[in-house]
Amino acid sequence: MVLRAPAGLTTAHVLIVGALVGACASSVGPPTAGDAIDVRSDSIDSRPEVAERDVPPFDVPQDADASRDSTFDTPTDVLADAPPDSPLDTPFDVPPDVPVDAPRDVPPDIVLPITPVEIAAGYYHTCARRIDGSVRCWGHLTGVAPRTVVGLTLVTSLTGGTWHTCGLRFDGTVRCWGRNDGWQIGSGSMDESVRDPAVVSGLSGVTQITADWAHSCARLGDGALRCWGRNLDGQLGDGTVVAARATPVVVLGVRNALQVEAGARQTCALLTDGTVLCWGRNEYGQLGLGFVLDEIIAAAPVQGVRTATQIAVGSYHACARLRDGTVQCWGHNDAGQTGDGTMDTMRPAPATVPGLAGVVEVSCGERHTCARMIDGTVRCWGSNADGQIGDGTMGGERRAPVPVPTLRNVAHVTAGYSHTCASLSDHTVWCWGSNAYGQIGDGTMDDRLSPTLVAGM
């Protein structure tokens, strides 16, 4: 749903930054060892029910309508040390030979400090990638505090789908885990869930990844794209409408891509010339073509966007940051998530967000949007049903951007389904909004109306 990592990031960059920060680590004290999480699940029978409609051979969830009753479903083991009042009571299995928080496959002469640098927010879970290449997750079926994902190392980028998560490793390969009912894991497995981080089949040379509801995509070093998972709306971009693809397929008609972003049932790509292409579902105008149509299976240009430098795709709306630091948004707008001061059901063509300048990053959630500003502050707009705007209130909508008053020195922001998270320049992580499944990461399941420090990072 959000921009994951700048194009061109290499292993050398990660290791050099790690060594430099590690040299200064003594000034802040040694890292605190934490618990580890095994992302396996012995059963999916205990998962909450999801409203579905029958489309053989898969059960496809109904269109999301901003209801907080939509169920997030990540098939992972839960923690034995969950709080007594938590519903998370399934036994937690950690392999006895895995050192807690010990980076694996790390060259012995490289010092890799343990600090969070990137966040991926799904529907009801959150994950953070740290400079040592490890990943910590919290939320639904994971726990109310961060736990390290076992068996996943040297990750350089991270993306959170609705019910699954993917990590890009330093060698250009991709690992995914979680729900697989749409074959969104990409390993070739047709199991309903994949318990361990699995290698996405046939992918190498990947530089950026994205995931949303039930499909995932990757950008390769040559600017080509690959996608896999559910394809009932043509969101994979291979010119077909079929139930799903269990392994990556080539996205047709897209070359020289700088970035790819997945929405619930659509996908968009930013090209090197500053234009944007989108394909897939278009019932709310989320493809930005200027008109509404059920689906477009071939990549089509977004109307009027010519100088984009970053894109963000939410469930049913999207935004582009332009070269001049302004933002244009389009698509579903029932809660003011396009930020143009209206609450129309749909906005099929891009509209400029008034009064917003100096934006360096934009992120789209289910029905809200946030932007990181050049001065290190954050502004959000759209639905505030669960406090995801972060202005200390809950309820209603924000039709225009409002500041998140307590945040300063923000280095990264990401919007989930009904919560939002940011990492600061001091490497701390703060989240706010819905916390019904522990996705805020503060050890509770209480909603937070303003940024709250994630414990144990």
pLDDT over 80 (residue 321): yes
Q: What pLDDT does 45 receive?
A: 34
The token pair at 406 is: 């307590």
Query: Mean per-residue pLDDT for 119-129?
Result: 95
Q: Which of 6-15, 174-183, 265-274 has the lowest mean pLDDT?
A: 6-15
Q: What pLDDT does 116 receive?
A: 62
Residue type, 122: G
pLDDT over 50 (residue 4): no
Q: What pLDDT does 107 receive?
A: 46
CB 454 within 8 A of CB 430: yes
CA-to-CA dists, residue 342 to 37, 107, 345, 404, angstroms:
44, 53, 9, 21
The token pair at 95 is: 């392999």
Query: Mean per-residue pLDDT for 131-153?
Result: 93
User: 435 - beta bridge partners?
Assistant: none
pLDDT over 70 (residue 35): no
Q: What pLDDT does 131 receive?
A: 86
Residue from 170, 75, 84, 80 nearest 125 by CA: 75
Per-residue pLDDT tens digits for 296-306: 999 999 999 99
Distance CA 259, CA 314 (A): 15
**Looking at per-residue confidence, does 363 or 73 come out higher?**
363
**Looking at per-residue confidence, does 49 or 193 come out higher?**
193
Query: Mean per-residue pLDDT for 193-206?
Result: 95
Percent share of the chain, pLDDT over 90 = 71
Reported as a pLDDT band with limits 50, 70 and 90, residue 115 is: low
pLDDT over 90 (residue 198): yes
- CA end-to-end distance (rounded Å), the chain: 23
pLDDT over 70 (residue 312): yes
Distance CA 269, CA 288 (A): 12
3-state SS assignment for residue 23: helix
Residue from 225, 228, 270 nearest 245 by CA: 228
Per-residue pLDDT tens digits for 355-375: 999 999 999 999 999 999 999
Q: Which domains does the chain have, with CATH numbers?
A: 11-453 (2.130.10.30)
Average pLDDT, the chain: 81
Query: Mean per-residue pLDDT for 338-363?
Result: 96
DSSP annotation string for 159-183 = EE-SSEEEEEETTS-EEEEEE-TT-
Residue from 325, 316, 262, 260 nearest 288 by CA: 316
Per-residue pLDDT tens digits for 10-23: 444 433 333 333 33
Q: What is the dihedral of CA 447, 161, 196, 14, to 10 degrees?
A: -90
For strands 174-179 and 164-169, give the pairing.
antiparallel
CB 94 within 8 A of CB 76: no
The token pair at 196 is: 């361990």
3-state SS assignment for residue 414: strand
Residue from 227, 230, 231 nearest 253 by CA: 227
Per-residue pLDDT tens digits for 408-419: 999 999 999 999
Give, as one character, the DSSP assignment of residue 25: G
The token pair at 287 is: 């493809």
Per-residue pLDDT tens digits for 226-245: 999 999 999 999 999 999 99
User: 120 - beta bridge partners?
Assistant: 127
Phi, psi for residue 71 in degrees, rounded to 5: -100, 130
Q: Which of 7-21, 157-171, 199-213, 268-282 has the lowest mean pLDDT?
A: 7-21
Sign of CA dihedral 97, 177, 68, 371: positive
CB 269 within 8 A of CB 320: no
The pTM assigned to this predicted structure is: 0.77
3-state helix, strand, coil in the chain (%, to 5): 5, 40, 55
Burial grade of 99 (CB within 10 A; 0-12, 13-18, 19 or more): exposed
Angle at 67 between CA 56 and CA 263, to 5 degrees: 60
**Looking at per-residue confidence, does 453 or 8 come out higher?**
453
pLDDT over 80 (residue 46): no
User: 54 - beta bridge partners?
Assistant: 59
pLDDT over 60 (residue 378): yes
Distance CA 223, CA 207 (A): 9
Contacts of 179 (CB under 8 A, 6+ apart): 73, 74, 75, 162, 163, 164, 192, 193, 214
pLDDT over 80 (residue 86): no
Distance CA 438, CA 189 (A): 29
CB 118 within 8 A of CB 173: no
**Looking at per-residue confidence, does 60 or 177 come out higher?**
177
Strands (E), 151-275: 155-160, 164-169, 174-179, 193-199, 206-211, 215-220, 225-230, 244-250, 257-262, 266-271
The token pair at 378 is: 């954050």
